[in-house]
Chain A
Amino acid sequence: MNQPASAYFIEDRHDPNETHTLAVLVQNEPGVLARVIGLFSGRGYNIESLTVSETEAQKHLSRITIVTTGTPMVIAQIKNQLDRMIPVYQVVDMTQTKRSIERELAMVKVRGQGEHRVEALRLADAFRARVIDATTESFVFEITGNTDKINQYIDLMRPLGLVEVSRTGVAAIGRGPEGM
């Protein structure tokens, strides 16, 4: 690559990106989420999905699940940068362990009549989506599964009158008896 005249070296390497799911155990205190998100925006990392909730109230622990993409070197950086934050207890790369289950929940609103309504219900049954709200011209379906399954379901609903989608983002947990 011909270097432009610059005070900085411009890198020309393009390692392929990988998608990783990280589980981050943090002290639940004011500003902790802002710290984590600020790290991603400040250092130019991607967030594909983000899920946060307190998981152990007595110990003030929250669990943040982040789906991110980057080269292997960037993914390693992200983990190290997260791990060195003061209120972060632990960072586990759920993708690297290869022994994790990922789920998200989506609520999908579909509006339609006649054949479209019947088809929507039939597909919901096939995907094990539940009807949690219904009117004479609409349904709200609740569906859980991995990201691909939910994407697929949403794609199928599109021609049947998809109105809107609300998704929780990914939550992940390891298989087997051990905790993180």
Chain B
Amino acid sequence: MSDKSHDPNQMTGAAMIVRALIDHGVTDIFGYPGGAVLPIYDEIFQQSEVQHILVRHEQGAGHAAEGYARSTGKPGVALVTSGPGATNMVTPLTDALMDSIPLVCISGQVPTHLIGNDAFQECDTVGITRPCTKHNWLVRDVNDLAKVLHEAFYVATSGRPGPVLVDVPKDVQFATGTYHPPRKSDVHRSYAPRVKGDATQIRKAVALLANAKRPVIYSGGGVINSGPEATKLLRELVEVTGFPITSTLMGLGAYPASGKNWLGMLGMHGTYEANMTMHDCDVMLCVGARFDDRITGRVDAFSPGSKKIHIDIDPSSINKNIRVDVPIIGDCGNILGDILQVFKAEAKKPDVKSWWQQIAQWRARNSLYYKKSNDVILPQHAIQSLFEATRGKDTYITTEVGQHQMWAAQFYGFEEPHRWMTSGGLGTMGYGLPAAVGVQVAHPDSLVIDIAGDASVQMTMQEMSTAVQYELPIKIFILNNQYMGMVRQWQQLLHGNRLSHSYSEALPDFVKLAEAYGAVGLQVHKPGDLDGAIQEMISVKRPVLFDCRVAALENCFPMIPSGKAHNEMLLPEQANDEATAKAFAGGKALV
């Protein structure tokens, strides 16, 4: 028997954590030290394979890891301490769960013998994070740690991706045990996500597609999560069939915005042509999207005359909100490949010419119209200018949540997947700035821009300090209207314009704030100065806070009012006071 002290797989729990990160190809992690993770930080100090980015708040670590994951397709990793470190991770974990982002969070815990004793910085981390992770573990024995860490990476990245958390008590970090590299038996036998689609269902789907008169493809974040092959196949399917395609907020970039079959985003603030096409279609192919309530509007009036095909890797997404006719469970890259193969062998290109003529009429309504001004910058115009200035550049966009996010989705054209990082499901204000930090860490030479609002950006502003410390030249492009714009818009439309607490009094001077952090501050008021200022922002190789003063009371249109169907959109030219009042007529109850 060999001497255990010379066995290279004998190591402390803390060393195992760093070793497992390396074995899973992790090069960057985001974290914040504290008492219950000090042994891990000591290991990090003594190696150079894993770079640690010190954030200013654990929520920032989580969103940075999300941005890193979304822009690379690799899992993002966050390291936090027990108690408040772990509770501060709840928002990013929930965000990642809603948007299916692979995230591995390692949290420290008080020593095993103190668990349950209300020890200093103790909380029930696995209890708190159980509903906001795909799975989580509390490791009580150092000899289980390697297995759990490997399983954590597998669970986070396989099937429908999502966040996982491994809670490691401090005594387990100190204890010595046996490490082993990743192996198949590390994973629960009960966990086996289905990836291959059912052949019979695929034939049924092709039969529907081949005979469609008014088809539409509705794609979502699942296509992007599936990887580059799925994107390629989706584009090929659009090409082969000639069908129109729309996408959810999460799916932008899978099909290029400059593509001729692109209808724009669908849903509450989607284009008129996308929503009308969805409403009037006879065959709908939903790929990796989940019929979320921002997409469907009124469910009993959602695309009433269509046969619906739904491709999703998560069986629980099927028939959750909308009953579908042909569900296909599996990886959408896989299934798109099979559909294409059968389609090309057995079907000919359907004649959808008259359908495109109809769509052209809807398109002619120009639902993204807004009135430019020479005196004041319109937010839509600011985003268009930003888009023009960055077109063809190696650019990544993140956003916060609100009007600016919808305008970014409407007016910034995404040509490739993984270029668009936004909080879709959870709608987390404060997501974009730390996410930009994560994206910039993954892509140090790319242009990374957070399209922000003046309210959202203040929620995680402290991460400017992280950007400065690591020389991450992120650009925070703030559409500053001095309001929580989306809240104000809803108050105007639904609550008699009583603007209860949606005005940001005492906004900071963003230019001085940038300077205080050691970053660059820019401010622009006049439309005529906008392009020059954007060029300056791009050319500065340091973090920038860009205070773009925009029209304060601009509303985000088009819009499906609540309780309305896709064909009852409120278009910008109709959005006078009378039409708006009528569209939103109803009781006073709020849900």
Q: How far is the CA of A34 from the CA of B126 in the complex (A)?
A: 10
Distance (whole angstroms) from the CB of B559 to the closest CB of chain A: 11
Interface size range of chain B in the complex: 35 or more
> Does B345 make an interface contact (CB < 8 A)?
no
> Known: A38-B131, A86-B134, A89-B190. Contact between A5 and B315, CB under 8 A?
no
> Does A73 make an interface contact (CB < 8 A)?
yes
Partner of A6, one of B135, B190, B590: B590
Asked whether, in the complex, the Cβ of A4 is within 8 Å of the Cβ of B135, the reply is no
Contact with A along B308-322 (1 / 0, CB 8 A): 000000111011100
Q: How far is the CA of A83 from the CA of B315 in the complex (A)?
A: 9
Q: How far is the CA of A13 from the CA of B300 in the complex (A)?
A: 9
Asked whether, in the complex, the Cβ of B320 is within 8 Å of the Cβ of A77, the reply is yes
Distance (whole angstroms) from the CB of A180 to the closest CB of chain B: 14
Query: What total count of A-B pairs have CB within 8 Å?
Result: 93
Asked whether, in the complex, the Cβ of A10 is within 8 Å of the Cβ of B127, the reply is no
Partner of B590, one of A5, A9, A85: A5
What residues of chain B lie closer than 8 Å to A38, measured between beta carbons? 130-131
Asked whether, in the complex, the Cβ of A3 is within 8 Å of the Cβ of B155, the reply is no
> Does A7 make an interface contact (CB < 8 A)?
yes
> Does B586 make an interface contact (CB < 8 A)?
yes
Contact with B along A9-21 (1 / 0, CB 8 A): 1111100000000
Asked whether, in the complex, the Cβ of A6 is within 8 Å of the Cβ of B562, the reply is yes
> Does B298 make an interface contact (CB < 8 A)?
yes
> Known: A9-B563, A34-B130, A42-B131. Contact between A87 and B188, CB under 8 A?
yes
Contact with B along A69-91 (1 / 0, CB 8 A): 00001001100110111111110
B:111-126 near A, CB below 8 Å: 126
Q: How far is the CA of A10 from the CA of B319 in the complex (A)?
A: 18
Distance (whole angstroms) from the CB of A61 to the closest CB of chain B: 10
Partner of B316, one of A2, A5, A6, A81: A81
Asked whether, in the complex, the Cβ of B190 is within 8 Å of the Cβ of A86, the reply is yes
Interface size range of chain A in the complex: 20 to 34
> Does A30 make an interface contact (CB < 8 A)?
yes
Partner of B190, one of A7, A11, A88: A88
Q: How far is the CA of A81 from the CA of B134 in the complex (A)?
A: 11
Distance (whole angstroms) from the CB of B135 to the closest CB of chain A: 4
Residue from B130, B297, B584 with most neighbouring chain A CB atoms (10 Å)? B130
Asked whether, in the complex, the Cβ of A9 is within 8 Å of the Cβ of B131, the reply is no
Q: How far is the CA of A84 from the CA of B319 in the complex (A)?
A: 15
> Does A27 make an interface contact (CB < 8 A)?
yes
Asked whether, in the complex, the Cβ of B591 is within 8 Å of the Cβ of A6, the reply is yes
> Known: A3-B562, A4-B586, A9-B297. Contact between A73 and B319, CB under 8 A?
yes
What residues of chain A lie closer than 8 Å to B8, measured between beta carbons? none
Q: How far is the CA of A124 from the CA of B297 in the complex (A)?
A: 57
Given contact pairs A5-B586, A6-B590, A31-B130, enumerate 14 new A-B contacts (beta carbons under 8 Å).
A2-B587, A4-B591, A5-B584, A5-B589, A6-B494, A7-B591, A8-B591, A11-B300, A34-B130, A80-B318, A83-B315, A84-B160, A86-B155, A90-B190
Q: List 10 A-B contacts (CB under 8 A).
A: A4-B587, A5-B588, A5-B589, A9-B296, A11-B299, A26-B190, A27-B190, A31-B126, A73-B323, A84-B160
Binding site for A on B (CB under 8 A): 126-127, 130-131, 134-135, 138, 155, 160, 188-191, 293, 296-300, 314-316, 318-320, 323, 490, 494-495, 562-564, 584, 586-591
